[in-house]
Amino acid sequence: MLTIAGQTFSNRLLTGTGKFKDHKEMKEAIEQSGSEIVTVALRRVDLRGNDQYILNDIPEGVQLMPNTSGARTAEEAVRIARLSRASGMGNWVKIEVISDQTYLLPDNEETIKATRILVEEGFVVLPYMSPDLMAAKRMEEAGASAVMPLGSPIGSNRGIRMKEMISIIMEQIDVPIIVDAGIGKPSEASEAMEMGADAVLVNTAIATAASPVDMAKAFDLAVKAGRIAYESGLGATSKSANASSPLTGFLTT
């Protein structure tokens, strides 16, 4: 079971709500994914709650994790988080502070600042981050409930390119690690789990697939496969071969 801020979850695939064709497709994809935690950009939420109110189409029982996308500074992220809570969307927040407009890479320094403030204010804080050990340590010290290092730039579908640093973070940090951004294929989600990730967050790879609903299912299976493998103890690799069948002398002995 995955435990974040005292809550337990049995599914380790988190999904996003962006880029789907419509709410119907989004809802079906989330259902197929088995996700128990879903992120939504507050900007996308019509705070007057009209017909197009996105929250109507998030399956019941799912933990909402509003994100601060659009924030370029700690201050802006803090304001968005407060607005989110005031709007009745709960006290979870995924901090995204981004000023780089080409690669959409998070600003760790501002993210750490926002984490400190929002933890103080009682939020459950999950910072999205550029993989760096010392920044992850500061977020953990500031009270983050998990850290969310990126695998590669958002929406690039390039997989876990920052593997070296993510592995080090997994080894050195105690709070859950959720690999977020860049995962483009189920095999990459499995790999993150085999490496020891506690969960992964996938959005673009599902929402932009030819069939998002089927792809959501594929990611669900892949995350489960990777987690079981991690828990079942992967075998050792070796340079040379090891026969799985007896190889010599069948006919001659």
For residue 106, give the 3-state DSSP assignment: strand
80 vs 146, beta carbon nearer a copy of itself: 80
Residues from 100 through 119 that contact a copy of itself (CB under 8 A): 100-109, 112
6 vs 249, beta carbon nearer a copy of itself: 249
What separation in angstroms does the CA of 233 have from each of 4, 164, 196? 24, 21, 11
Q: Is the dihedral of CA 13, 133, 144, 182 positive or negative?
A: negative
DSSP type of residue 57:
G
Give residue 152's identity as a one-letter amino acid code: S
Residues from 192 through 221 that contact a copy of itself (CB under 8 A): 194, 203-205, 207-212, 214-215, 217-221
Please give the size of the binding site for a copy of itself, defined by CB under 8 A. 100
Least spacing, CB of residue 6 vs a copy of itself, in Å: 27
Least spacing, CB of residue 232 vs a copy of itself, in Å: 4
Q: Is 251 in the site for a copy of itself (CB under 8 A)?
A: yes
DSSP type of residue 115:
H
Residues from 64 through 83 that contact a copy of itself (CB under 8 A): 67, 69-71, 76, 79-80
Catalytic residue, chosen from 94, 113, 217, 224, is 94
Q: Which residues are annotated as a binding site for 1-deoxy-D-xylulose 5-phosphate?
A: 155, 181-182, 203-204
DSSP per-residue codes, 125-181: EEEEE-S-HHHHHHHHHTT-S-BEEBSSSTT-----TTHHHHHHHHHH--S-BEEES
Least spacing, CB of residue 52 vs a copy of itself, in Å: 15
Binding residue for a copy of itself, selected from 14, 37, 96, 125, defined by CB under 8 A = 96
Residues from 230 through 249 that contact a copy of itself (CB under 8 A): 231-249
Q: Which residues are annotated as a binding site?
A: 155, 181-182, 203-204
Contact 148, 118 (CB under 8 A): no
Residues from 140 through 179 that contact a copy of itself (CB under 8 A): 152-158, 161-165, 168, 172
Residue 137 a catalytic site member: no
What separation in angstroms does the CA of 222 have from each of 78, 215, 229? 35, 10, 11
7 vs 28, beta carbon nearer a copy of itself: 28
Least spacing, CB of residue 70 vs a copy of itself, in Å: 3
Residues from 10 through 49 that contact a copy of itself (CB under 8 A): 16, 18-19, 41-44
The rounded distance, in Å, linking the Cα atoms of 69 and 177 is 20
Q: Would you say how long the chain is, in residues? A: 253
- Residue 166's nearest CA partner among 127, 141, 196, 144 is 196
The catalytic residues are 94
